[in-house]
Amino acid sequence: MSVNRSAATVVEVPRGLAGVVVADTEIGDVRGFEGFYHYRQYSAVELARTRAFEDVWHLLVHGDLPDPRRSAAFAAETAALRRVPDEVWGALPAIAAASAPSGPLAGMRTALSLLGAAKGFRPVYDIDADERRQDTLAAAAAVPTLLTALHRLGRGLDPVEPRDDLPYAANYLYMLTGAEPEARRARAVEQYLITTIDHGFNASTFTGRVIASTGADVAACLVGAVGALSGPLHGGAPSRALDTLDAIGTPDRIDPWIRERVLAGDRVMGFGHAIYRTEDPRSRMLREVAQSFGGPRVEFAVEVERHVEAILAELKPGRELHTNVEYYAGVVMELCGLPRAMFTPTFAAARVVGWSANILEQAADPKIIRPVARYVGPRAPVAVPAA
């Protein structure tokens, strides 16, 4: 519940602002009861099936899907922005060493701040739309470079500089592993990245928009979004979903393991979503991607999914829980050779594009986001006791 001071009225507000409309957007929407989400006017899943990552990036930032000529130009423009300034590159070993216990995502918060300072990002309040857009492109293009360099440095390996001749996803895998990836693995990762670019007003996107509403620079907005994403309730689940498969181990253990967790009221990682009341369309598509690779791991994941849904239907009738994006995302990323420590950072390498689009949209509105809270402490005023 919150108080509108100007009108002196009391308005009921659900915990966590669940279902509360806080802004208008043209970027996309999630229809949880329909199992559908879109980027602008296009199905996000169909975009993942048919278009390149850079095309979807263009759609979110510029508002339309590019034709082949503009697609190539935009890909070349963003590829040229992948290299970071020398002072940032030179600082990465120290950042990686300091953030080693927490991982690349923690290090990237520092690296992004440094990148913004080195590139001279100015407050979005003080610059025009073109400069804001250029700042978001520069920051988003550099994020995979920063993440992969911090990961490799944290493991005693030299960082790999980006290549201009590889698409976004292939270049990401190249910088991560040091080897040019197989085309089908690069495409699988690209499809995962496209499906996770944006997803409504999730915690990290909303955080970025709140900071943008203050007029702060693009780097500040993105650092705040990364901080929100790092929380285990938001971006930390893909590796935990794989941990579930590991804990079950073999097909004969599926039923007893799941029943024990469900009856104890424990959450089964990789199942359920705060928005969807149907199957998560991202999970459905990534299941297809995983099954295109095949193999025992994929077969086991599909079998676990089938059993979990059957057991939940038996023990919790009327409560539909399906796999969410993290479940098959973990399987796909593992198949493509990504270490688990890089699952959430890889999510960030996609979501930075959605954050950027939301920052640009919010920056066009000069109104700061400033809600109020309902005070529930001791009754005031109370006289201050003498010292």
252-276 residue pLDDT tens: 999 999 898 888 877 777 676 556 5
pLDDT at 361: 97
Question: Which of these, 60, 78, 293, 75, lies nearest to 196 by C-alpha position?
Answer: 60
pLDDT at 328: 86
pLDDT at 10: 59
pLDDT at 236: 63
Single out the catalytic residue among 54, 190, 305, 326.
326
State phi, psi for 147 to the nearest 5 degrees: -65, -45
Integer Cα distance of 347 and 342 in angstroms: 9
Residues whose CB is less than 8 angstroms from the CB of residue 369 and which lie 6 or more positions away in sequence, other chains included:
22, 209, 210, 213
46 belongs to the catalytic site:
no
Omega prior to 85 cis, within 30 of 0: no
Tokens linked to 214: 């203050």
Q: Are 40 and 28 in contact (CB under 8 A)?
A: yes
9: helix, coil or strand? strand
Omega prior to 66 cis, within 30 of 0: no
Q: Taking the model in full, what pTM does it have?
A: 0.90
Integer Cα distance of 277 and 146 in angstroms: 36
Domains, the chain, ordered by start: 54-233+345-363 (1.10.580.10)
326 belongs to the catalytic site:
yes
pLDDT at 305: 87
Tokens linked to 101: 């216990």
pLDDT at 200: 87
In which order are the strands placed within the sheet that holds 36-39? 28-31, 36-39, 42-43
State phi, psi for 371 to the nearest 5 degrees: -75, 180
Question: Which of these, 347, 235, 329, lies nearest to 285 by C-alpha position?
Answer: 329
Residues of the chain with pLDDT under 50: 1-8
Per-residue pLDDT reduced to its tens digit, 303-359:
988 888 888 888 777 666 777 778 888 899 999 999 999 999 999 999 999 999 999
Q: Which helix (DSSP H) or strand (DSSP E) does residue 36 occupy?
A: strand 36-39
pLDDT at 17: 82
- Helix then strand count (H, E) for the chain reads 16, 5
Single out the catalytic residue among 273, 305, 322, 334.
273
Q: Exposed, middle or buried, 191 (CB in 10 Å: 0-12/13-18/19+)?
A: buried
Integer Cα distance of 296 and 366 in angstroms: 54
Q: Are 309 and 322 in contact (CB under 8 A)?
A: yes
pLDDT at 7: 45
Integer Cα distance of 137 and 117 in angstroms: 15
